[in-house]
Amino acid sequence: MSTSLHPLHPYVSFLLPCYNESAVVEQTYRRVKAVGDTLGKTYEIVFVNDGSSDDTLDRLVFLSGSDTTVTVIDLSRNHGHQLALSAGLRYCAGDRVLIMDADLQDPPELLPAMLELMDQGAEVVYAQRRSRPGDSLPKRVACSVFYRFLSKLTEVPIPVDTGDFRLISRRVVDIIVQMPERHRFIRGMVSWVGFRQTPILYDRDGRFAGETKYPFWRLMRLALDGIAASSVRPLALASWAGLLFAACSVVLFGYILWSWLFVGRTPQGWASLMMVVTVMGSIQLFVLGIIGQYLGRMHEQVRARPIFIVRDVLRDGRRAGGWERETNGGGAEQRS
Protein backbone atom coordinates (compact mmCIF):
# COMPACT_ATOMS: atom_id res chain seq x y z
CA MET A 1 0.00 0.00 0.00
CA SER A 2 1.00 3.58 -0.57
CA THR A 3 3.18 5.34 1.97
CA SER A 4 3.45 8.69 0.18
CA LEU A 5 2.40 11.89 1.87
CA HIS A 6 -1.21 12.94 1.48
CA PRO A 7 -1.32 15.34 -1.50
CA LEU A 8 -2.41 18.87 -0.65
CA HIS A 9 -3.86 19.48 -4.11
CA PRO A 10 -4.38 16.11 -5.79
CA TYR A 11 -5.19 15.85 -9.45
CA VAL A 12 -8.38 13.89 -8.75
CA SER A 13 -10.47 12.99 -5.71
CA PHE A 14 -12.57 9.85 -5.50
CA LEU A 15 -15.67 10.58 -3.39
CA LEU A 16 -17.53 7.55 -2.02
CA PRO A 17 -20.39 7.83 0.52
CA CYS A 18 -20.84 4.65 2.57
CA TYR A 19 -23.75 3.39 4.63
CA ASN A 20 -23.48 -0.18 5.94
CA GLU A 21 -21.10 -1.21 3.15
CA SER A 22 -18.94 -3.51 5.26
CA ALA A 23 -19.26 -6.39 2.76
CA VAL A 24 -17.98 -4.38 -0.20
CA VAL A 25 -15.87 -1.44 1.00
CA GLU A 26 -12.50 -3.24 0.87
CA GLN A 27 -13.11 -4.52 -2.66
CA THR A 28 -14.22 -1.02 -3.66
CA TYR A 29 -11.02 0.40 -2.22
CA ARG A 30 -8.88 -2.10 -4.17
CA ARG A 31 -10.55 -1.27 -7.50
CA VAL A 32 -10.44 2.49 -6.90
CA LYS A 33 -6.81 2.23 -5.78
CA ALA A 34 -5.90 0.29 -8.93
CA VAL A 35 -7.45 2.97 -11.12
CA GLY A 36 -5.73 5.76 -9.20
CA ASP A 37 -2.32 4.11 -9.53
CA THR A 38 -2.67 4.00 -13.34
CA LEU A 39 -3.15 7.77 -13.62
CA GLY A 40 0.45 8.68 -12.98
CA LYS A 41 -0.74 11.69 -10.98
CA THR A 42 -1.65 12.44 -7.38
CA TYR A 43 -5.07 11.40 -6.11
CA GLU A 44 -7.02 10.95 -2.91
CA ILE A 45 -9.81 8.59 -1.89
CA VAL A 46 -12.44 10.21 0.33
CA PHE A 47 -14.85 7.87 2.07
CA VAL A 48 -17.83 9.38 3.90
CA ASN A 49 -19.21 7.15 6.63
CA ASP A 50 -22.88 8.11 6.80
CA GLY A 51 -23.65 6.81 10.29
CA SER A 52 -23.17 3.12 9.45
CA SER A 53 -24.45 0.66 12.06
CA ASP A 54 -22.15 -2.21 11.00
CA ASP A 55 -18.33 -2.28 11.08
CA THR A 56 -17.92 -0.12 7.96
CA LEU A 57 -16.19 2.60 9.98
CA ASP A 58 -13.67 0.16 11.50
CA ARG A 59 -12.73 -1.06 8.03
CA LEU A 60 -12.38 2.50 6.77
CA VAL A 61 -10.18 3.48 9.72
CA PHE A 62 -7.92 0.51 8.93
CA LEU A 63 -7.67 1.58 5.29
CA SER A 64 -6.87 5.14 6.36
CA GLY A 65 -4.11 3.91 8.67
CA SER A 66 -2.60 1.78 5.89
CA ASP A 67 -2.79 4.24 3.00
CA THR A 68 -2.13 7.97 3.23
CA THR A 69 -4.24 8.66 0.13
CA VAL A 70 -7.36 7.62 2.08
CA THR A 71 -9.39 10.17 4.03
CA VAL A 72 -12.40 9.15 6.11
CA ILE A 73 -15.16 11.63 6.93
CA ASP A 74 -17.22 10.23 9.80
CA LEU A 75 -20.63 11.89 10.15
CA SER A 76 -22.34 12.08 13.54
CA ARG A 77 -25.35 10.08 12.34
CA ASN A 78 -27.07 8.89 9.18
CA HIS A 79 -27.78 12.10 7.25
CA GLY A 80 -28.76 10.47 3.95
CA HIS A 81 -26.96 9.96 0.66
CA GLN A 82 -27.27 13.52 -0.67
CA LEU A 83 -25.98 15.19 2.50
CA ALA A 84 -23.16 12.64 2.74
CA LEU A 85 -22.14 13.70 -0.77
CA SER A 86 -22.34 17.34 0.29
CA ALA A 87 -20.04 16.64 3.25
CA GLY A 88 -17.58 14.85 0.99
CA LEU A 89 -17.53 17.69 -1.54
CA ARG A 90 -16.62 20.07 1.28
CA TYR A 91 -13.49 18.04 2.05
CA CYS A 92 -12.36 16.91 -1.41
CA ALA A 93 -9.21 18.80 -2.41
CA GLY A 94 -8.79 17.48 -5.95
CA ASP A 95 -8.87 19.59 -9.10
CA ARG A 96 -11.46 17.08 -10.31
CA VAL A 97 -13.84 14.99 -8.23
CA LEU A 98 -15.28 11.63 -9.23
CA ILE A 99 -18.56 11.00 -7.40
CA MET A 100 -19.51 7.33 -7.22
CA ASP A 101 -21.32 4.87 -4.97
CA ALA A 102 -19.36 2.39 -2.89
CA ASP A 103 -21.37 -0.65 -4.03
CA LEU A 104 -19.37 -1.04 -7.29
CA GLN A 105 -22.41 -0.54 -9.48
CA ASP A 106 -20.51 2.51 -10.71
CA PRO A 107 -17.25 1.24 -12.30
CA PRO A 108 -14.23 3.37 -11.31
CA GLU A 109 -12.46 2.03 -14.42
CA LEU A 110 -14.50 4.56 -16.42
CA LEU A 111 -12.44 7.42 -14.96
CA PRO A 112 -9.68 7.62 -17.65
CA ALA A 113 -12.28 8.07 -20.40
CA MET A 114 -14.06 10.69 -18.30
CA LEU A 115 -10.81 12.55 -17.70
CA GLU A 116 -10.16 12.59 -21.43
CA LEU A 117 -13.55 14.21 -22.07
CA MET A 118 -12.83 16.80 -19.38
CA ASP A 119 -9.45 17.51 -20.99
CA GLN A 120 -11.42 18.37 -24.13
CA GLY A 121 -13.25 21.17 -22.30
CA ALA A 122 -16.12 19.62 -20.33
CA GLU A 123 -16.71 20.87 -16.78
CA VAL A 124 -18.98 17.92 -15.98
CA VAL A 125 -18.85 14.39 -17.39
CA TYR A 126 -21.92 12.46 -16.28
CA ALA A 127 -22.29 8.72 -16.69
CA GLN A 128 -25.51 7.81 -18.51
CA ARG A 129 -26.83 4.29 -18.11
CA ARG A 130 -27.16 2.37 -21.33
CA SER A 131 -28.52 -0.66 -19.49
CA ARG A 132 -29.15 -1.79 -15.90
CA PRO A 133 -28.76 -5.60 -15.92
CA GLY A 134 -28.09 -5.64 -12.20
CA ASP A 135 -31.51 -4.17 -11.30
CA SER A 136 -34.88 -5.89 -11.24
CA LEU A 137 -37.48 -5.12 -13.92
CA PRO A 138 -39.81 -3.19 -11.55
CA LYS A 139 -36.92 -1.02 -10.39
CA ARG A 140 -35.79 -0.34 -13.98
CA VAL A 141 -39.32 0.68 -14.95
CA ALA A 142 -39.76 2.87 -11.85
CA CYS A 143 -36.41 4.62 -12.43
CA SER A 144 -37.15 5.17 -16.12
CA VAL A 145 -40.50 6.79 -15.30
CA PHE A 146 -38.97 8.89 -12.52
CA TYR A 147 -36.10 10.31 -14.62
CA ARG A 148 -38.38 11.27 -17.51
CA PHE A 149 -41.02 12.78 -15.22
CA LEU A 150 -38.35 14.74 -13.35
CA SER A 151 -36.85 16.03 -16.59
CA LYS A 152 -40.26 17.36 -17.68
CA LEU A 153 -40.91 19.13 -14.37
CA THR A 154 -37.58 20.89 -13.80
CA GLU A 155 -36.78 24.32 -15.21
CA VAL A 156 -33.25 23.17 -16.07
CA PRO A 157 -33.43 19.71 -17.68
CA ILE A 158 -31.73 16.88 -15.82
CA PRO A 159 -30.33 14.19 -18.16
CA VAL A 160 -32.40 11.00 -18.08
CA ASP A 161 -30.97 7.68 -16.84
CA THR A 162 -28.23 9.38 -14.83
CA GLY A 163 -27.45 9.12 -11.13
CA ASP A 164 -24.77 10.89 -9.13
CA PHE A 165 -21.93 9.01 -10.86
CA ARG A 166 -20.04 11.84 -12.55
CA LEU A 167 -16.74 13.68 -12.78
CA ILE A 168 -16.93 17.38 -11.92
CA SER A 169 -14.35 20.13 -12.05
CA ARG A 170 -13.10 22.15 -9.09
CA ARG A 171 -15.07 25.17 -10.32
CA VAL A 172 -18.32 23.20 -10.21
CA VAL A 173 -17.44 21.72 -6.79
CA ASP A 174 -16.88 25.19 -5.32
CA ILE A 175 -20.23 26.42 -6.62
CA ILE A 176 -22.10 23.38 -5.27
CA VAL A 177 -20.49 23.76 -1.84
CA GLN A 178 -21.60 27.41 -1.68
CA MET A 179 -25.25 26.68 -2.48
CA PRO A 180 -27.31 27.35 0.67
CA GLU A 181 -30.25 24.96 0.33
CA ARG A 182 -30.78 22.30 2.96
CA HIS A 183 -32.70 19.80 0.83
CA ARG A 184 -29.98 18.96 -1.65
CA PHE A 185 -30.40 17.00 -4.87
CA ILE A 186 -26.86 16.86 -6.20
CA ARG A 187 -27.55 15.82 -9.79
CA GLY A 188 -30.14 18.60 -10.09
CA MET A 189 -27.75 21.14 -8.59
CA VAL A 190 -24.99 20.12 -10.99
CA SER A 191 -27.35 20.47 -13.95
CA TRP A 192 -28.42 23.92 -12.71
CA VAL A 193 -24.80 25.13 -12.58
CA GLY A 194 -24.50 24.84 -16.34
CA PHE A 195 -21.16 25.03 -18.20
CA ARG A 196 -20.31 22.33 -20.71
CA GLN A 197 -21.68 18.97 -19.56
CA THR A 198 -20.91 15.82 -21.55
CA PRO A 199 -22.40 12.30 -21.21
CA ILE A 200 -20.53 9.02 -21.30
CA LEU A 201 -22.50 5.80 -21.73
CA TYR A 202 -21.97 2.72 -19.56
CA ASP A 203 -23.70 -0.47 -18.45
CA ARG A 204 -24.54 -0.47 -14.76
CA ASP A 205 -23.57 -3.64 -12.91
CA GLY A 206 -25.38 -5.24 -10.02
CA ARG A 207 -24.16 -4.76 -6.46
CA PHE A 208 -20.92 -6.60 -5.67
CA ALA A 209 -22.28 -7.53 -2.23
CA GLY A 210 -24.72 -6.36 0.41
CA GLU A 211 -28.25 -5.04 0.07
CA THR A 212 -29.57 -2.09 -1.91
CA LYS A 213 -29.90 1.15 0.04
CA TYR A 214 -32.76 2.27 -2.22
CA PRO A 215 -35.80 0.04 -1.89
CA PHE A 216 -38.99 1.24 -3.54
CA TRP A 217 -40.12 3.51 -0.68
CA ARG A 218 -36.75 5.28 -0.58
CA LEU A 219 -36.81 5.72 -4.35
CA MET A 220 -40.21 7.37 -3.98
CA ARG A 221 -38.87 9.67 -1.28
CA LEU A 222 -35.86 10.56 -3.44
CA ALA A 223 -38.21 11.27 -6.34
CA LEU A 224 -40.36 13.64 -4.26
CA ASP A 225 -37.31 15.37 -2.78
CA GLY A 226 -35.73 15.70 -6.22
CA ILE A 227 -38.83 17.25 -7.75
CA ALA A 228 -39.38 19.68 -4.86
CA ALA A 229 -35.68 20.61 -4.72
CA SER A 230 -35.34 21.18 -8.47
CA SER A 231 -38.61 22.81 -9.50
CA VAL A 232 -41.57 24.94 -8.43
CA ARG A 233 -43.69 23.63 -11.28
CA PRO A 234 -45.76 21.40 -8.97
CA LEU A 235 -47.18 24.63 -7.54
CA ALA A 236 -48.22 25.63 -11.05
CA LEU A 237 -49.67 22.16 -11.50
CA ALA A 238 -51.81 22.71 -8.42
CA SER A 239 -53.05 26.00 -9.89
CA TRP A 240 -53.94 24.37 -13.21
CA ALA A 241 -55.79 21.60 -11.38
CA GLY A 242 -57.80 24.26 -9.55
CA LEU A 243 -58.66 26.01 -12.83
CA LEU A 244 -59.68 22.72 -14.45
CA PHE A 245 -62.10 21.80 -11.70
CA ALA A 246 -63.43 25.35 -11.57
CA ALA A 247 -64.27 25.00 -15.26
CA CYS A 248 -65.96 21.66 -14.55
CA SER A 249 -68.00 23.34 -11.81
CA VAL A 250 -69.18 26.02 -14.24
CA VAL A 251 -70.30 23.35 -16.72
CA LEU A 252 -72.12 21.43 -13.95
CA PHE A 253 -73.81 24.62 -12.74
CA GLY A 254 -74.98 25.35 -16.29
CA TYR A 255 -76.44 21.85 -16.59
CA ILE A 256 -78.30 22.22 -13.28
CA LEU A 257 -79.69 25.63 -14.30
CA TRP A 258 -80.81 24.29 -17.72
CA SER A 259 -82.56 21.32 -16.09
CA TRP A 260 -84.42 23.58 -13.65
CA LEU A 261 -85.56 26.08 -16.32
CA PHE A 262 -86.45 23.78 -19.23
CA VAL A 263 -87.03 20.33 -17.76
CA GLY A 264 -88.81 21.51 -14.67
CA ARG A 265 -86.76 19.61 -12.14
CA THR A 266 -83.26 19.55 -10.75
CA PRO A 267 -81.04 16.57 -11.60
CA GLN A 268 -81.35 13.61 -9.29
CA GLY A 269 -78.41 11.59 -8.06
CA TRP A 270 -77.06 11.41 -4.55
CA ALA A 271 -74.23 9.09 -5.71
CA SER A 272 -73.00 11.53 -8.35
CA LEU A 273 -73.13 14.37 -5.81
CA MET A 274 -71.01 12.40 -3.36
CA MET A 275 -68.57 11.56 -6.13
CA VAL A 276 -68.13 15.24 -7.00
CA VAL A 277 -67.67 16.19 -3.34
CA THR A 278 -65.13 13.40 -2.83
CA VAL A 279 -63.14 14.30 -5.94
CA MET A 280 -63.09 17.99 -5.07
CA GLY A 281 -62.02 17.24 -1.51
CA SER A 282 -59.23 14.98 -2.73
CA ILE A 283 -57.96 17.62 -5.14
CA GLN A 284 -57.96 20.23 -2.37
CA LEU A 285 -55.97 17.96 -0.06
CA PHE A 286 -53.56 17.16 -2.89
CA VAL A 287 -52.97 20.85 -3.57
CA LEU A 288 -52.54 21.57 0.14
CA GLY A 289 -50.03 18.73 0.33
CA ILE A 290 -47.94 20.24 -2.47
CA ILE A 291 -48.01 23.65 -0.79
CA GLY A 292 -47.14 22.02 2.54
CA GLN A 293 -44.03 20.39 1.04
CA TYR A 294 -42.67 23.76 -0.02
CA LEU A 295 -43.67 25.48 3.23
CA GLY A 296 -41.94 22.73 5.21
CA ARG A 297 -38.75 23.27 3.24
CA MET A 298 -38.95 27.00 3.84
CA HIS A 299 -39.39 26.36 7.58
CA GLU A 300 -36.32 24.12 7.74
CA GLN A 301 -34.30 26.61 5.71
CA VAL A 302 -35.25 29.48 8.05
CA ARG A 303 -34.22 27.45 11.12
CA ALA A 304 -30.70 27.39 9.62
CA ARG A 305 -29.59 24.20 11.36
CA PRO A 306 -26.40 22.54 10.06
CA ILE A 307 -27.08 20.37 7.02
CA PHE A 308 -24.56 17.85 8.32
CA ILE A 309 -22.34 17.33 11.37
CA VAL A 310 -18.90 15.76 11.12
CA ARG A 311 -17.72 13.74 14.11
CA ASP A 312 -14.19 13.06 12.89
CA VAL A 313 -11.90 13.45 9.91
CA LEU A 314 -9.35 10.64 9.74
CA ARG A 315 -6.07 10.52 7.83
CA ASP A 316 -3.32 8.00 8.52
CA GLY A 317 -5.74 6.39 10.95
CA ARG A 318 -5.68 9.50 13.17
CA ARG A 319 -7.89 12.52 13.67
CA ALA A 320 -7.01 15.25 11.21
CA GLY A 321 -9.47 17.85 12.51
CA GLY A 322 -11.31 20.10 10.11
CA TRP A 323 -14.73 21.52 9.51
CA GLU A 324 -16.97 20.46 12.36
CA ARG A 325 -20.28 21.46 10.83
CA GLU A 326 -21.65 22.80 7.58
CA THR A 327 -24.20 25.58 7.82
CA ASN A 328 -27.03 26.40 5.45
CA GLY A 329 -25.24 29.48 4.24
CA GLY A 330 -22.16 27.63 3.07
CA GLY A 331 -20.00 28.73 6.01
CA ALA A 332 -18.57 26.46 8.63
CA GLU A 333 -16.93 26.41 12.00
CA GLN A 334 -13.37 25.16 12.12
CA ARG A 335 -12.19 22.75 14.73
CA SER A 336 -8.84 21.06 15.00
Q: What is the pLDDT of residue 290?
A: 72
Assigned CATH for 12-231+305-335: 3.90.550.10
| C-alpha of 262 from chain center | 60
Q: What is the pLDDT of residue 111?
A: 94
Q: What is the pLDDT of residue 42?
A: 92
DSSP H or E segment with residue 56: helix 56-66
Q: What is the pLDDT of residue 330?
A: 43
Q: How far apart are CA 234 and CA 256, in angstroms?
A: 33
* pLDDT < 70 regions, the chain: 1-8, 131-155, 205-243, 245-246, 249-250, 252-253, 256-257, 260, 263-276, 278-280, 282, 285, 289, 293, 296-304, 316-336
For helices 270-303 and 233-258, the axis angle rounded to 10 degrees is: 160
User: Rounded to a whole number, what is the distance in angstroms from the first to the last CA of the chain?
Assistant: 27
Q: Contact, 56 vs 20, CB < 8 A?
A: yes
Q: Contact, 99 vs 165, CB < 8 A?
A: yes
Q: How far apart are CA 93 and CA 14, in angstroms?
A: 10
Residue in 36, 23, 12, 25 with CA at minimum distance from that of residue 72 = 25
Tens of pLDDT along 212-256? 555 555 666 666 666 666 665 666 666 666 667 667 766 766 776
Q: Contact, 130 vs 201, CB < 8 A?
A: yes
Q: What is the pLDDT of residue 2?
A: 40
Which of left, alpha, beta for 20 (phi over 0: left; psi -120 to 50: alpha)? left
Q: Which long-range contacts (CB under 8 A, 24 or more apart) does 172-181 make?
A: 172/123, 172/124, 173/89, 173/92, 173/97, 176/86, 176/89, 177/86, 177/89, 177/90, 177/330, 178/330, 179/330, 180/301, 180/328, 180/329, 180/330, 181/229, 181/301, 181/328
Q: What is the pLDDT of residue 232?
A: 59
Tell me the pTM: 0.67
Which alpha helices (DSSP H) does 183-316 contain, by range?
186-193, 216-230, 233-258, 270-303
Q: Contact, 69 vs 45, CB < 8 A?
A: yes
DSSP state, residue 179? -
Q: Contact, 24 vs 210, CB < 8 A?
A: yes
